[in-house]
Amino acid sequence: MQLLDIRNLTIELKTADSVIRAVDRINLSLKEGEVHALVGESGSGKSLIAKAIVGALNNRWTVTADRMHWQGVDLMRLSPEKRRKIVSKDIAMIYQEPSLCLDPTANIEDQIAESIPDEFLKDVSIFSRRSARKHRVIALLHKVGIRDHEKVMSSYPHELSEGICQKVMIAMAIARNPKLLIADEPTTALETTTRAQVFRLLKSLNQLKNMSVLMISHELEEIADWSHTMHVLYCGQMVEAGPTASLFNLPLHPYTQALVKSMPDFEQGITHKEALYALKGTIPPLAHLPIGCRLGPRCPQAQKACVVTPIVERSHGHAYACHFPLIKGK
């Protein structure tokens, strides 16, 4: 079943003299139980898309979309209050700096307990509700792999490590049994071992609870092996989307190809101090976006036609936006 269906999502920032289009007509759809990766360099608008879905963008940004359906309900047409209710019931989000996302003046127990909705405790009598809530908090902590629940529950966020904070965030996120978990670069602040733990946790949540995950990351190799579908973004434009495997094996867009190439393959044997492959140039700042295909100035395949924004084309469940795709024979 289609959980999320977004057409032509555009996010704009109004400045004094112009309108900057940070995200340009993105299409995104997500099925139940699917792990979808949103990949791109920093500044490509990945986080903006996630925040636009949950409605956490502040007033400076204007969000427009032809449709943004959540299980058939158009979120764009709802009042903010109704939208907040639907979104908070079914969608949970975890962020890249977990310790900043926890209230510094409340202890962990209160913060997790708060995210357990009252409906879950309906059949418990009012008097034992407090202890029932506490039991649930402990169960949630165990579920995310925190064994020492006594200590963590009575701690304040500044007393815990980033890794534990992120696990607490995940515990808070799954407290409502959401259908979709949006993970916005959840492992950026973590060490490698904790990073692996968090990924394993998310993977098991997806497999055991059939929870969809929208994974936002700029590290391709980490999500490549467990995401089902993938979206590659560049500068707020969709570059290529499709099943992860086919995207990796047969990239149609020069940017995707560059991304795949830039992953150092140690099995192939890289010689000592060999230069790694990287696309020349850097991602342009939002204030100086090129017209047409935004990859234009950096693209190895660019030609004159690239000053016009390419139309998204589809073939075999694979969508790409390029005038000169890497299809043999074309």
Partner 1 sequence: MREYLLRRLSLLTFMLFALSIFTFSLSYLFPGELLTNLSGLTNSNYTSTQLLEAKYKLNESLLQQYIAFLGRITHGDWGISLSSGENVFEHIRILFPATIELCVYALITSVVIGIPCGIISAVYHRRWPDNLISSVTMLGFSIPIFWLALLLIMTFCLTLGWFPMSGRIGLLFEIDAVTNFMLLDILLADFPYHGLAFQDALHHLALPTIVLAMYPTTVLIRFTRDSMLHVLEQNFIKTARAKGLSQAQLIIHHALRNALLPVIKQIGLQFSTLITLAMITEVIFSWPGVGRWLIDSIYQRDYPAIQGGLLAVSMFVILANMTAELSHSLLDPISRNKAHGKI
Q: Of 259-298, which residues contact partner 1 (CB under 8 A)?
A: none
216 scored as a contact of partner 1 (CB under 8 A)? no
Nearest alpha-carbon partner for 102 in 168, 174, 37, 21: 168
Q: Of 58-97, which residues contact partner 1 (CB under 8 A)?
A: 84-85, 87-89, 91-93, 95, 97
CA dist., res. 65 & res. 318, Å (int): 22
Q: Which residue number, 28 or 169, has a Cβ lying nearer to partner 1?
A: 169
State the Cα torsion 104-110-114-119 to the nearest 10°: 170
188 scored as a contact of partner 1 (CB under 8 A)? no
Q: Which residue number, 181 or 220, has a Cβ lying nearer to partner 1?
A: 181
DSSP 95-159: -S-GGGGS-TTS-HHHHHHHHS-GGGGTTS-GGGHHHHHHHHHHHHHHHTT---HHHHHT--GGG
Q: Least separation, in Å, of the C-beta of 158 and partner 1?
A: 6
158 scored as a contact of partner 1 (CB under 8 A)? yes
**Which residues make Cβ contacts (< 8 Å) with residue 85, sequence separation at least 6?**
none
Q: Which residue number, 59 or 268, has a Cβ lying nearer to partner 1?
A: 59
**Which residues make Cβ contacts (< 8 Å) with residue 111, sequence separation at least 6?**
102, 103, 168, 172
169 scored as a contact of partner 1 (CB under 8 A)? yes
105 scored as a contact of partner 1 (CB under 8 A)? yes
CA dist., res. 290 & res. 216, Å (int): 24
136 scored as a contact of partner 1 (CB under 8 A)? no
CA dist., res. 311 & res. 320, Å (int): 8
Helices 129-143 & 162-174 angle (0-180, nearest 10): 120
Q: Is the dihedral of CA 78, 119, 130, 170 positive or negative?
A: negative
Name the pairing type of β-strands 237-243 and 318-320.
Answer: antiparallel
Radius of gyration of the chain (CA): 21
CA dist., res. 274 & res. 317, Å (int): 37
4 scored as a contact of partner 1 (CB under 8 A)? no
Q: Least separation, in Å, of the C-beta of 175 and partner 1?
A: 8
205 scored as a contact of partner 1 (CB under 8 A)? no
Identify the residue among 73, 100, 139, 308 touching partner 1 (CB under 8 A).
100
153 scored as a contact of partner 1 (CB under 8 A)? no
Q: Which residue number, 172 or 214, has a Cβ lying nearer to partner 1?
A: 172
Within 10 angstroms of residue 84's Cβ, the number of other Cβ atoms is 14
Tell me the β-bridge partners of 234. 237
Q: Which residue number, 30 or 247, has a Cβ lying nearer to partner 1?
A: 30
State the Cα torsion 239-244-246-249 to the nearest 10°: 90
Q: Which residue number, 72 or 104, has a Cβ lying nearer to partner 1?
A: 104
Q: Which residue number, 107 or 309, has a Cβ lying nearer to partner 1?
A: 107
Q: Least separation, in Å, of the C-beta of 209 and partner 1?
A: 19
Give the x/- contact pattern for partner 1 in 16-55, rule: CB under 8 A: --------------------------------------x-
14 scored as a contact of partner 1 (CB under 8 A)? no
Q: Which residue number, 166 or 229, has a Cβ lying nearer to partner 1?
A: 166
Q: Which residue number, 100 or 196, has a Cβ lying nearer to partner 1?
A: 100
102 scored as a contact of partner 1 (CB under 8 A)? yes
214 scored as a contact of partner 1 (CB under 8 A)? no
- Which residues in this chain contact partner 1 in the complex, by CB under 8 A? 54, 56, 84-85, 87-89, 91-93, 95, 97, 100-107, 114-115, 117, 156, 158, 169, 172, 176
